[in-house]
């Protein structure tokens, strides 16, 4: 009996930034790309050089407004994994929290990685949402 493997959709926010470019490049690398049905790049600037480069390598670029939770909710619709790599502090950049709230609300998101890579509370592991 044959079984069809359902591949997850991964969405990354801040994937054009200093840290995020490395994560996005890894997700699109030949070693990892075949593990995902889709690598979705959420960005406030799809025209940026980094966003264009990632789109040419297979990322699906989705334009967002980081402070508008409704557009974030729409942008992560269908994603199984959401990686937050937005810059700045939570108080300095509210978009970080808006994305987390959207990921929790969406219901379909199974794993959420907060943007706390070695700074703040040190939550550098993924939070299981289901
Ligand atoms: N950089 C480091 O050396 C370093 C070291 C240790 C830990 N970290 C942590 O890693 C995470 C990401 O940091 P980063 O330095 O890679 O971030 P970053 O390059 O400053 O920003 C990442 C992305 O966030 C989006 N963004 C849009 N408006 C923003 C705003 N007003 N403030 C902040 N970000 C905005 C941009 O994406 P779009 O243009 O695509 O919308 C930007 O490319 C943070 O939690 C940081 O504390 C960074």
Tens digits of residue pLDDT in 77-94: 999 999 999 988 767 788
Evaluate: CB of 16 within 6 angstroms of ligand 1.
yes
Cβ of 30 less than 6 Å from ligand 1? no
> What pLDDT is recorded for position 25?
98
CA distances, 89 to each of 94, 114, 123 (Å):
8, 12, 14
Is the distance from the beta carbon of residue 72 to the nearest atom of ligand 1 less than 6 Å? no
Q: Please name the residue whose Cα sits nearest to atom 21 of ligand 1.
A: 87
Name the more confident of 105 and 48. 48
Q: Is the pLDDT of residue 36 over 60?
A: yes
Domains of the chain: 9-128 (3.40.50.720)
Query: What is the model's pLDDT at position 125?
Result: 47
Share of the chain above pLDDT 90, in %: 68
What separation in Å is there between the alpha carbon of 113 and the centre of ligand 1? 14
For residues 71-78, average pLDDT: 95
């Amino acid at each position: 009996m044959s079984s069809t493997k359902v591949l997850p959709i991964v969405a990354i926010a801040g994937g054009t930034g200093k840290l995020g470019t490395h994560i996005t490049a890894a997700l699109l690398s030949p070693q990892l790309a075949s593990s995902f049905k889709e690598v979705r790049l959420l960005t406030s600037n799809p025209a940026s050089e980094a966003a264009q480069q990632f789109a040419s390598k297979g990322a699906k670029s989705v334009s967002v407004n980081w402070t508008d939770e409704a557009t974030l909710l729409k942008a992560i619709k269908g994603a199984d994994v959401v990686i937050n790599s937005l810059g700045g502090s939570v108080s300095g950049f509210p978009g970080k929290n808006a994305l987390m709230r959207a990921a929790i609300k969406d219901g379909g998101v199974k794993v959420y990685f907060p943007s706390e890579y070695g700074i703040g509370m040190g939550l550098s592991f993924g939070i299981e949402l289901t």
